């Protein structure tokens, strides 16, 4: 709808203050990086990138200048003569980015831009994407299903559920103070405990919890529940411990690999402890 391929059934879309609801895609100052890039297979990288400027009937010297500049920026100058089929996944992604950015759109849409790449390349390109965004100063609107990617890339993060925005804000705020249990569960792992008053829940992230064998020492700033370990998953730098609390509710705790309790086994009964002040209260 933002790119103009679908019409909203109601409401308006404004771009830089102008109503563009009825504007067809080829007259909108918005460009898209498609999920599978949609690079034109019969054109070279250079001609792919030049497609937008030529559509706008810019003079050929100006086209050459703009295309050369943007290819420099995404570091593809050497590969300009190649066809998309001769590029690696990461290079294709950068070519698609250049093809969209060369038009200096008011906003750039990216539809799961990194989902087609293998995980190792993904984190490199996340950095690359941020660098290019900072250099161009163009707003990027990124759609992703990868929560970690969303947290890592965004300045503002919107969580959508069934077509409605549940929450919008800086990533830290969305993670630490979600507005609903849906957001809390969607972004990262969440432990939701009864709030005690029947109308609220307490959110605790797995890394805010710790395990100990003895009952709680008399520290008034902390709380604890007794729970039994059901599964331990080794994840490299950390361990994910799943437990059942005494009242039956599931809990998940993330431990540093070198934590004193890292040797915990499934079936053991332990105490799960947290700082009372760390819990975020959600009203149901």
The residues of the shown chain that bind another protein, judged by CB under 8 A, are 3, 5, 24-27, 30-32, 34, 36, 38-42, 51-52, 55-56, 85, 99-100, 103
Contact 204, 178 (CB under 8 A): no
CA-based torsion, 14, 154, 239, 219: positive or negative: negative
Question: Shortest distance, CB of residue 7 to another protein, whole angstroms?
Answer: 15
Q: What is the DSSP string of 64-102?
A: HHHHHHHHHHTT-GGGTTS-GGGS-HHHHHHHHHHHHHT
Pairing of strands 157-161, 164-169: antiparallel
In angstroms, the CA 44 to CA 84 distance is 7
Q: Are 3 and 109 in contact (CB under 8 A)?
A: yes
Helix runs in the chain, H state only: 45-55, 60-73, 89-101, 119-136, 147-153, 171-176, 181-186
Question: Are 188 and 280 within 8 A, CB to CB?
Answer: no
Minimum CB–partner distance for residue 193 and another protein (Å): 46
How close are the terminal C-alpha atoms of the chain, in Å?
Answer: 32
What's the min distance (Å) between Cβ of 116 and another protein? 13
How many angstroms separate the CA atoms of 223 and 246, rounded? 14
What's the DSSP call for residue 280?
Answer: E
In terms of CB distance, is 88 or 233 closer to another protein?
88
Closest CA to 8 of 25, 22, 29: 22
Nearer to another protein by C-beta: 85 or 236?
Answer: 85
Please state the closest distance from residue 43 (CB atom) to another protein, in A.
8
Provide the angle, in degrees to the nearest 10, between the axes of the packed helices 119-136 and 60-73.
Answer: 130
Nearer to another protein, 143 or 245 (CB): 143
Whose Cβ is closer to another protein: residue 96's or residue 174's? 96
SS3 at position 189 = coil
36 vs 156, which CB is nearer to another protein? Answer: 36
Nearest residue (CB) to another protein, 38 versus 136: 38
Distance in Å, CB of 128 to another protein, minimum: 21
Nearer to another protein, 117 or 240 (CB): 117
What is the smallest separation between the CB atom of 37 and another protein, expressed in angstroms? 8
CB of 111 to another protein, least distance (A): 10
* Residue number, 101 or 279, with CB nearest to another protein: 101
For residue 56, the minimal CB distance to another protein (Å) is: 5
């Amino acid at each position: 709808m933002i790119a103009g391929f679908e019409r909203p059934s109601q409401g308006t879309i404004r771009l830089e203050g102008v109503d563009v609801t009825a504007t067809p895609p080829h007259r909108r100052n918005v460009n898209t990086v498609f999920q599978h890039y949609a690079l034109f297979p019969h054109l070279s990288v250079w001609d792919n990138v030049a497609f937008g400027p030529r559509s706008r009937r810019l003079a050929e010297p100006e086209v050459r200048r703009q295309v050369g500049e943007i290819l420099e920026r995404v570091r593809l100058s050497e590969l300009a003569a190649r066809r998309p089929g001769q590029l690696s996944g990461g290079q294709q992604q950068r070519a698609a980015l250049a093809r969209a950015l060369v038009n200096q759109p008011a906003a750039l849409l990216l539809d799961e831009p990194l989902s087609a790449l293998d995980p190792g390349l993904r984190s490199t390109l996340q950095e690359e994407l941020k660098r290019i965004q900072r250099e161009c100063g163009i707003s990027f609107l990124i759609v992703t299903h990868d929560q970690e990617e969303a947290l890592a890339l965004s300045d503002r993060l919107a969580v959508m559920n069934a077509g409605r925005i549940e929450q919008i804000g800086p990533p830290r705020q969305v993670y630490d103070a979600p507005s609903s249990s849906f957001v809390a569960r969607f972004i990262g792992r969440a432990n939701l405990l009864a709030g005690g008053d029947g109308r609220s829940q307490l959110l605790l992230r797995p890394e805010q919890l710790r395990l100990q064998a003895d009952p709680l020492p008399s520290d008034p700033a902390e709380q604890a529940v007794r729970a039994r370990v059901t599964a331990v998953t080794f994840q490299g730098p950390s361990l994910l411990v799943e437990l059942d609390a005494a009242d039956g509710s599931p809990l998940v705790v993330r431990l540093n690999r070198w934590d004193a309790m890292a040797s915990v086994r499934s079936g053991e009964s332990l105490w799960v402890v947290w700082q009372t002040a760390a819990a975020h209260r959600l009203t149901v």
